[in-house]
Amino acid sequence: MGCTIGIDLGTTNSCMSISEGGNAIVIQTGEGPRVMPSVVAFTPAGDRLVGIVAKRQAITNPKETITSVKRLMGRKYDELSEGIFNVSYDIVPNDKGDAVVRIGDGRTFTPQEISSMILQKMKYRAEEYLGEEVTDVVVTVPAHFNEVQRKATKDACTIAGLNVKRVLNEPTAAALAFTDAVERRKIAVFDFGGGTFDISVLQVVNGIFEVKATTGNTQLGGDDFDALLVEWIMKEFQRDNGIDLRDDPVAPQRVREAAERAKCELSASLETSINLPFIASSDQGPVHLEMVITRSLFEGLIKDLIESTRPLCEQVLKDAGLTHEDLETVVLVGGSTRIPMLRTLVEEAFHQEPVHSVNPDEVVAMGAAIAGSVVSGQRKDLVLLDVTSLTLGVETLGGVMAPIIVKNSPLPIKRSKMFTTAVDNQQVVGIHVLQGERELTEDNRSLARFELVGIRPAPRGVPRIEVAFSIDANGILFVNAKDAVTGKHQELKVNPSGGLSDDDVRELIRDARQYKDADRDRIKLIEERNVADQLIYEASKLLNTSRDKLDGDSLLELKSALDELRTARDNSDLTSIERAKKDLTMVLHTARNILNMLDTLDEKDDSGDIESLSQKEGMD
């Protein structure tokens, strides 16, 4: 059986890990950092970039650079909050009303497609690291994701060629990575990432990780802090210079990147500077953006958003039936938890200092890898007991939702309720499956619809229709409707409405396979260009320092090979780069041998002079 990797598909950054010998090891992205920016870009030349290379070119290519797409997963366009639109690309509805991204050339992509491109890159890097094909994955999602969002995440994995063994809540994953299986403790996990906020309370007893309660806000994250700071900077610049930077296609992206850097720097210092030269132009010439941002100013901007998490901290304890005295540990997860003001709020809410011993960017992926070792059978000492994040029910007469499984119910679970008909002689009953915490149907998320037919005609209120909901350990919902009199029943495995259909997913899998070789060639080209740049540097240095030592033919051969590699690199031709790199390596080897021989001869000449001198001195 192959290994199962763990992936934290994040809003800002993504991370992957593998369990080796019971320990979770973070797999390097191949680009330096241990986390990969969740960024996809489409270049004018038709290339598709993923990760850090996509992020680096965002300023010059803002309309075709997609960031924070996780906030759109499984979402209808009319559900989106205003803050989600603070991106450089366009967000539009498709013919199903789902939110999709539109790039500069008019093409549209679903969030699942963009996410699958990120996952494909991670899959390739994992295979490179392990030396074998990777197919199985445990992927994490915010605890407060609904069924549609969870299915969208699974679809993204499927398109990328990954088989999802389990969809795991991010706070649960963090607790797995942080806590030893033999410990007994109650933990609160405060997870504040780039696009979502979750908080969960777990109890760990002898290797059993039981989630007691969870809550959160899928529309709150570090991106919202960035947006507030960007808005303030632009208003200040307009007030001082009379220029609205929103009218420029590139300037807003420069400000966004500067604001994100400032936010990170203010976690470690009391003030930071933003310097963006030539950000705009006026009748007097170029205009530069120069500002000093203090921590107190930044905290004033984000205070209301941070304070909005306090009631949720209190609510999750109440739902778990605990008080802050019952908690042994509070764990911080997500890059935004580095903000001092947020850490202070957590300490105040739980009456204890949160632990700082885990890397908030990596702990979720590490926990997912540990879960992968559990579902693949490698570890037998752990049991994961999660809970439902939202209430599940059905629509009843008058558009009212009747709960069947309430939020924070332990998984797996089965619950049922008895219903009846609304009109006389009714022979068909429509079952409308809903998810959410509101009382009216229209305020909750529709998951599925089906019909139970063949009910024996009777006055309204007489028939007895049992509707049973069951959810397995993987969070898959099954709904069964049964006529208690006739015994006729209808069962449905809920495939949430909205998002991609099975046919859509199959088509995208075919497209992804077509791109697979092209993507790998692109990565290979980038790696070969990096090697070529190093070789060009070495050859140029040798050429400049050895002109007076090498003969004319050797210099000409070295310069010719160097020019050939430069041309191949600039043309981005993989075959030409490999050939030119081989030729330059051979020429360099020959030139270095010549120089070594010349150095050896010089040393002999020098030692001979010293010996002769000594002999003369001896003769005298």
What CATH number is associated with residue 425? 2.60.34.10
Q: Is the pLDDT at 512 greater than 80, yes or no?
A: no
pLDDT at position 274, please?
A: 94
The answer, yes or no, to whether residue 180 has pLDDT greater than 70, is no
Q: What is the domain-level CATH number for residue 567?
A: 1.20.1270.10
Tokens of 161: 């060629």
DSSP 116: H
Whole-prediction pTM value? 0.78
Written as six digits, the tokens of 541 are 């240095």
Residue of 201, 204, 161 whose CA lies nearest to 370:
204
Instruction: Respond yes or no: is residue 240 known to be catalytic.
Output: no
Higher-confidence residue of 556 and 518: namely 556
Question: How many residues appear in the chain?
Answer: 620
The pLDDT value recorded for residue 315 is 92
Please tell me which residue in 113, 155, 191, 528 is annotated as part of the active site: 191
Instruction: For residue 63, indicate whether it is catalytic.
Output: no
The answer to whether position 44 is within a domain reads yes
Query: Do residues 207 and 317 both lie within one domain?
Result: yes
pLDDT level of residue 613 (50, 70, 90 thresholds): very low
Residue 619: what pLDDT?
A: 42
* Domain presence at residue 121: yes
- The tokens for 250 are 């590139």
Establish whether 170 is a catalytic residue.
yes
Report the run of H or E that residue 181 belongs to, with start and end.
none
Q: Looking at 70, 121, 212, 482, which residue is catalytic? A: 70
CATH label of the domain that carries residue 227: 3.90.640.10
What gap in Å lies between CA 530 and CA 157, rounded to an integer?
A: 30
Same-domain status, 210 and 226? no
What pLDDT is recorded for position 618? 44
Examine the fold and report which residue of 493, 511, 530 is the final residue of a domain before the chain moves on.
493
pLDDT given at position 620 = 42
Same domain? For 211 and 246 the reply is: no
Question: How many structural domains compose the chain?
Answer: 4
| Per-residue model confidence (pLDDT) at position 159 | 92
Look at residue 191 and tell me if it is in a domain. Answer: yes
378 and 400 in a single domain? The answer is no
In a domain, 620, yes or no: no
Q: Give dist(CA 496, CA 551) in Å, integer.
A: 74
pLDDT given for residue 617 in this prediction: 42
- Whether 262 has a pLDDT exceeding 60, the answer reads yes
First to last CA, the chain: 85
* Domain-ending residue, one of 364, 385, 406: 385
Of the two residues 427 and 357, the one the predictor is more confident about is 427
Contact predicate 607/578, CB 8 Å: no
Share of the chain above pLDDT 90, in %: 42
Mean pLDDT of the chain: 86
Per the DSSP assignment, residues forming a β-bridge with 291 are 274
pLDDT at residue 516 above 70?
no
Decide if 413 is inside a domain.
Answer: yes
And the tokens for 583?
């030729």
The residue ranges of DSSP E strands in 420-527, in sequence order, are 428-435, 445-453, 465-471, 477-483, 489-493
**Mean pLDDT value of segment 395-404:** 88
Statement: residue 148 has pLDDT above 90:
no
CATH at 52: 3.30.420.40
**What is the C-alpha separation between 431 and 376, in angstroms, rounded?**
36
State the pLDDT at residue 304.
96
For residue 302, give the 3-state DSSP assignment.
helix
Which positions ≥6 away from 608 have C-beta within 8 Å?
A: none
Output 48 or 179, whichever has higher pLDDT.
48
Single out the catalytic residue among 170, 226, 260, 386: 170
Inside any domain, residue 402 = yes
Give the integer Cα–Cα distance in Å for 405 and 469: 7
Is 618 a domain residue? Answer: no
Q: Is 70 a catalytic residue?
A: yes
Element (H, E) at 210: strand 208-217
Locate 601 and state its tokens.
């001869």
Stretch among 107-111, 276-280, 369-373, 542-546 having the lowest mean pLDDT: 542-546
Please state, in angstroms and rounded to a whole number, the distance separating the CA atoms of residues 70 and 145.
11
- Pull the structure tokens for residue 277: 């030269």
Cα atoms in the Cβ-side hemisphere of radius 13 Å centred on 140:
37
Domain boundary among 366, 385, 404: 385
Domain that holds residue 554: 502-613
> Mind listing the pLDDT tens digit for each residue in 424-448?
888 888 889 998 888 888 888 888 8
